[in-house]
Amino acid sequence: MTADLTADALLDLAPVVPVVVIDDAEAAVPLAAALVAGGLPVIEVTLRTPAALAAIERIAAQVPDAVVGAGTIVRPQDAADAAAAGSRFLVSPGCTPALREAMTATGLPFLPGVSSASEAMALLEHGITALKFFPAEAAGGTAYLKSLGGPLPGVRFCPTGGITPASAPDYLALPNVGCVGGSWLTPADAVKDGDWDRIRALAAEAAALRTR
């Protein structure tokens, strides 16, 4: 299904992409399995902890139905390390020319982060049409994304940052939004306690948010 995954196709795999912070690599496999069982196969593991790369390796090797990627790609080396760990895609909070080149060099689909029309246009010049909109709520939310639809009709977004189960449907209703990123799927206490049933239930609720 994902052998020839593109960034644009990535936006259509699930309505919500869990944005996951993993402190203990031992939790990675059961956490990913719970998300997949709930109907969310695309999982973004943020490179914010020392355990992140090991977590990606374990998910890639042991949860075959998961499409695991790396988020918080902020340096060129992050892109290379994430690819080596088995990431299927990359996500960055922003983008510079050097980071764009590094992510392109991995051969993986990637969602570079933007928060303005100018940033989106700079990436569009390189043929990049699938973007992360971050930080979504702080940068203008659904009203801002709706306004970008007119001048940039060929660009689609995965908004992330401050999105909740209540606001997600409003984002998903926009024609230039393919999916949203959310951190509410994996509450820290549920991960710490190994409450995979709770995480599976949250994933199932999110999977049902697709409005079209």
Percent of the chain with pLDDT over 90: 97
Category of 132 on φ-ψ map: left (φ > 0), alpha (ψ -120 to 50) or beta: beta
Confirm whether pTM is higher than 0.85.
yes
Which member of 26, 44, 57, 192 is catalytic?
44
The predicted model gives 109-135 an average pLDDT of 98
Give 36-64 pLDDT, tens digit per residue: 999 999 999 999 999 999 999 999 999 99
Domains identified in the chain and CATH numbers: 7-202 (3.20.20.70)
Structure-derived torsion over alpha carbons of residues 68, 46, 183, 37, reported in degrees to the nearest 10: 20
Catalytic residue among 26, 57, 132, 205: 132
Q: Rounded to whole angstroms, what are the CA distances from 42 to 77, 124, 156, 169?
A: 23, 24, 17, 18
Longest dimension (CA), the chain: 47
pLDDT tens profile 136-194: 999 999 999 999 999 999 999 999 999 999 999 999 999 999 999 999 999 999 999 99
> Residue range 127-136: average pLDDT?
98
Q: Are 67 and 88 in contact (CB under 8 A)?
A: yes
Whether 101 is a known active-site residue: answer no
Residue type, 151: P
Indicate if the pLDDT at residue 1 is higher than 90. no
Indicate whether 15 pLDDT > 70.
yes
The per-residue pLDDT for range 62-74, each reduced to its tens digit, is: 999 999 999 999 9
CA distance 126 to 52: 30
Strand, coil or helix: what is 69?
Answer: strand
- Please determine, for residue 211, whether its predicted confidence score (pLDDT) is greater than 90: no
- Is 44 tagged catalytic? yes
